[in-house]
Structure 1
Amino acid sequence: MKKLLFGFCALALAISCQKKVANEPEAIADEPTSVARHCAAEEVLQQQIAADPRRAERLREIEAFTKNAIETGRLVNGVIEIPVVVNVLYRTTAENISDAQIASQITVLNEDFNNTNADGTKTPAEWSSLRANYGIRFVLAKTVRKATNKRSWGTNDDMKRSSRGGIDPTLPTTHLNMWACNLGQGLLGYAQFPGGPAATDGVVVLYSAFGSRAKAAGTYVANYDLGRTATHEVGHWLNLRHIWGDATCGNDLVGDTPYAQTSNGGCPAYPKVSACTTGGTHNEMTMNYMDYTYDRCMYMFTTGQKDRSLALFAAGGARNSFAQP
């Protein structure tokens, strides 16, 4: 297990999770196949710091606040209700995902963040006591739809700006905005960490990875069809890092997640013994939502991840406005 270390690391201010599609570098077909999660975190990080040098300082401030809030127990108690606005940008009928598909995603978020997901019972015994109930209720506030001629979107946040053909966020200091659209360059989605501009705050998810095939009909991409892309991205929105800390045997700044050598894809067999020497001989937590496995093979957050996220809602925290009545 890792020591709880805080401080700014060279991690993404906005995380973009990608899938590579064979012979399809730009546009995505209605139902792509043969894909795997990947991230372009460092590129996005450098772009945002170049645009706003104060962003790095804000991250340091949030880390210091998080450390203090956890150490002093200044975390929010009770259920936090987060209104969600889903912004749908579509060029084709398939991209204009249904109300049922949207509702299925809200259901998945509530299950995953509150430890009521049925597959959570598959958690190995060594970590079963760490499964976290966040105490967060996601409630669909409204859906905004807009037709577009644009074939695909990237990580420049154009989908969040009406002036560039997208949809402006609704009340981003009190509402979680999500954009469902056709992402280019093999992207599955990306999120903005706390402390960024309100005008671009929120989560972006590929339309065919939005929602759950198990709960609603729709057009879905194989292996990423149970709503876990949004769970992963909302995790970033709630200040969680990738389980491997975006470095070889890196630190995700959470004390109860074991060191991982790098990202895990597919559905790794348990146990997977880590090649990392820090922390002694241990298994990797490949089923954590902040890894890169298939949707059906990720099914838990830890109590340490929960505490890190809930620090955001404490008085003075970066997302305290969401905890106000």
Structure 2
Amino acid sequence: MPLSRHLTSLAAGAVAAGALLAVAPSGTATAARPEAAGCQVNESGTPAFAARGGTGGDTRAVSAAEQKRIQADLEKRLAAKKGATAASSGRIGATVPVYFHVMLSASGAGDVTQSQIDQQISVLNRDYAGGKSSTAADLGVTFTLAGVDRYKNNSWHQDKQSSTYRRQTRLGGKNALNVWLVDFSYLGIATFPWDYARQGAIDGIRVQYSSLPGGSIANYNLGETASHEAGHWFGLYHTFQGGCTATNDEVTDTPAQSSATSGCPAGRDSCSLPGLDPIHNFMDYSYDSCYLEFTQGQADRASQMWAAYRA
């Protein structure tokens, strides 16, 4: 199941009791997926809730027990590969082909320019090379544009029939990042690398098209949604995964935090464990302009995940 980084679009359905309702093609209201409660926007297009998660969590539930199983499977796979070089180096050391699928409405709404796509690739390369901060880790990834296609389909544009359209349009292997640009109730949704074996046909990230560089969403239009979602695709949890626990996000150099960040609140400390909240980390929920870094611990985890599941 996917992860999501929410932003309810201007045409989204009503929210009741914390659950987003969506209108089905027949016109009847149907309950959205459990992970679909999210951040609404007001009429100006800016988020009505500052936090990316809004009123609901943006990830499928990953319990402490499931985290343990995932970690055990990771260690088993790495052991079978005898500590793959990439996993032990703290750098992924790979070139990732990126396929963009622009899902337009029948009238052409939801389009982005080639310049925006090129800028998005540049943002990914900068962020994953540690280019925004002297303290940021270099994950050793080069993203290259492998292809762009455009489809005109109202349902696909609105992320309806998502499993169907992803199966029909996904390109490349397990090492290829597929990015579907849609107009939906989130900023983004991603799949985990450990789910590729059973969900490979829909593997990738879905991104609100207006979050690309130059897009229309205030505070979320610098292209960092794709960097955040790609982090999940590489196997990183949110920095607030599990709340104030020693396990937290399985990364030792991201201080534990109890909840997602809203905006860019310097000095936020939501947890009694050591360290201020990592509000500048790409895997928190801060504004795009607040994002500065992945840590070396996250680079280590991502390289292990790559060696185990995507190499």
Which range, TM-score by smaller chain?
A: 0.7 to 0.9
How far off is 1:24 after superposition?
3.9
Partner Cα separation in structure 2 for residue 259 and residue 55 of structure 1 = 16
Matched, 1:306 2:308: no
Determine the structure 1 residue equivalent to 2:200. Answer: 198
How far off is 1:152 after superposition?
1.2
**CA deviation digits over 1:91-135, x for unaligned, max 9?**
144412111111111000000000123xx26xxxxxx3xx20111
How far off is 1:20 after superposition?
4.2
**Structure 1 residues 57-66 or 143-152, which shifts more?**
57-66
Determine the structure 1 residue equivalent to 2:94. Answer: 80
| Structure 1: gaps spanning 5 or more residues | 1-12, 47-53, 122-127, 163-167, 214-218, 321-325
Determine the structure 2 residue equivalent to 1:139. Answer: 144
| Structure 2: gaps spanning 5 or more residues | 14-21, 24-40
Determine the structure 1 residue equivalent to 2:187. Answer: 188
Matched, 1:261 2:258: yes
How far off is 1:313 after superposition?
3.2
Pick from 115, 119, 133 the counterpart of residue 100 of structure 1: 115
- Judging changes above 3 Å, is the alpha-carbon distance between structure 1 residues 23 and 81 closer, same or farther for their aligned structure 2 residues? closer
Matched, 1:212 2:225: no
Determine the structure 1 residue equivalent to 2:5. Answer: 17
Partner Cα separation in structure 1 for residue 67 and residue 112 of structure 2 = 34
How far off is 1:55 after superposition?
12
Does the 8 Å contact 1:112/1:300 carry over to 2?
Answer: yes
Matched, 1:112 2:113: no
- Judging changes above 3 Å, is the alpha-carbon distance between structure 1 residues 242 and 71 closer, same or farther for their aligned structure 2 residues? farther
Percent identity, please. 29
**SS in structure 2 opposite 1:224?**
coil
Determine the structure 2 residue equivalent to 1:276. Answer: 271
Letter in 2 for 1:16: S
Does the 8 Å contact 1:153/1:182 carry over to 2?
Answer: yes
Partner Cα separation in structure 1 for residue 95 and residue 89 of structure 2 = 15
Does the 8 Å contact 2:78/2:84 carry over to 1?
Answer: yes
**CA deviation digits over 1:45-64, x for unaligned, max 9?**
69xxxxxxx99966741255
Within-5 A mapping of 1:222-241: 222-241=218-237
Letter in 1 for 2:271: C
**SS in structure 2 opposite 1:266?**
coil
Pick from 104, 107, 110 the counterpart of residue 90 of structure 1: 104
Determine the structure 1 residue equivalent to 2:74. Answer: 62
**SS in structure 1 opposite 2:188?**
strand
Partner Cα separation in structure 1 for residue 278 and residue 108 of structure 2 = 38
Determine the structure 1 residue equivalent to 2:32. Answer: none
Does the 8 Å contact 2:9/2:183 carry over to 1?
Answer: no
**Structure 1 residues 103-112 or 168-177, which shifts more?**
168-177
Partner Cα separation in structure 1 for residue 241 and residue 160 of structure 2 = 24
Pick from 125, 148, 155 the counterpart of residue 153 of structure 2: 148
**CA deviation digits over 1:74-102, x for unaligned, max 9?**
34768411111111110144412111111
TM-score, normalisation: structure 1 = 0.73
**SS in structure 2 opposite 1:173?**
coil
- Judging changes above 3 Å, is the alpha-carbon distance between structure 1 residues 259 and 155 closer, same or farther for their aligned structure 2 residues? farther
**CA deviation digits over 1:182-222, x for unaligned, max 9?**
11xx211110001222101111101111x212xxxxx4211
TM-score, normalisation: structure 2 = 0.76
